[in-house]
Amino acid sequence: MSKEKIQTMIVDDEIAFIKTMHILMESHPDFKIIGTARGVEEAVENLNKIEPDVVFLDVEMEDGTGFDVLRRTDRKDFKVIFVTAFDHYAVEAFRFSAIDYLLKPVISEDLMIALKKVKSALENEKANYQFKVLLENIHSLSKERKKIVLKEMDVHHIVQLDNIIWCTADGSYTKFYLCKGDSILVSKHLKEFEDLLSPNGFFRVHRSHLVNLNKIKRFERSEGGILYMEEDHIVPVSVRKKDRLGAMLSHL
């Protein structure tokens, strides 16, 4: 699984500038250019298709301005770095909540500062997003309403704990099996989720398996033991966990 990159789009009517930005951005591997546009119409269309995290937006283009792009797009969830040869647009740019304002020709030092601002803003948003889920968990009346954020590649899944049947170790990853046949692969060790979920009705029945006790349909104690979970999942139980699991189930 590759490291998540910040999806970047360049909007400028000068093809030479777009090529220059491709070269400059090679020094910033956390960012990936996923699209370009050379005018207002193309920019508005592409923004809705490729959904970038950050847009380098030219102010003056042949068919309008970067401000026209922002007025016409329905998306408001990307960061904007205005780029122009004219500094008298700066005040209006920041009225549009721009992250930064770069003058052409863009130099690597100014670009680096702007990209640091983008990363900081995105990290703050992510922290606020996860904190919101945490607060919901704290105020939940029951564990059936509690949620967890599971990050899979570029997607953040918000999953109710009661929707998790079991989790299994897959190398340095953890695979979550959910109700209705869904599954999510997360780039974290099972131990991290054991610490997080054990106070909420989950039990590690095997070095590779963590189960939701409320999703167990039948427990057979033959040899190590076998659990028959909801939706026909079968999970082995280690010999040393068998007695403790039986005691926990007797108190459900």
Q: What is the CATH topology of the domain spanning 6-127?
A: Rossmann fold (3.40.50)
Determine contact, residues 122/79, Cβ cutoff 8 Å: yes
* One-letter amino acid of 93: A
Which runs of consecutive H residues, i.e. helices, occur in the chain?
15-25, 40-50, 66-72, 90-95, 108-139, 190-197, 239-249
pLDDT confidence of residue 100: 84
The structure tokens listed for 100 are 């930064």
pLDDT confidence of residue 34: 94
pLDDT confidence of residue 4: 78
DSSP-derived secondary structure letter, 2: P
State the pTM of this model: 0.52
pLDDT confidence of residue 196: 84
For residues 58 and 72, what is the distance between their CA atoms, to the nearest angstrom? Answer: 15
Contacts of 183 (CB under 8 A, 6+ apart): 175, 176, 177
pLDDT confidence of residue 240: 86
Q: What is the CATH topology of the domain spanning 143-249?
A: OB fold (Dihydrolipoamide Acetyltransferase, E2P) (2.40.50)
pLDDT confidence of residue 91: 54
pLDDT confidence of residue 147: 84
pLDDT confidence of residue 145: 64
pLDDT confidence of residue 169: 94
Domain boundaries of the chain, sorted by first residue: 6-127, 143-249
Distances (CA, A) of 70 to 59, 96, 103, 219, 226: 11, 8, 19, 58, 58
pLDDT confidence of residue 50: 86
The SS3 assignment for 87 reads helix
Q: Which residues of the chain have pLDDT under 50?
A: 1-3, 141
For residues 182 and 110, what is the distance between their CA atoms, to the nearest angstrom? Answer: 45
Query: How many other C-beta atoms lie within 10 A of the C-beta of residue 55?
Result: 28
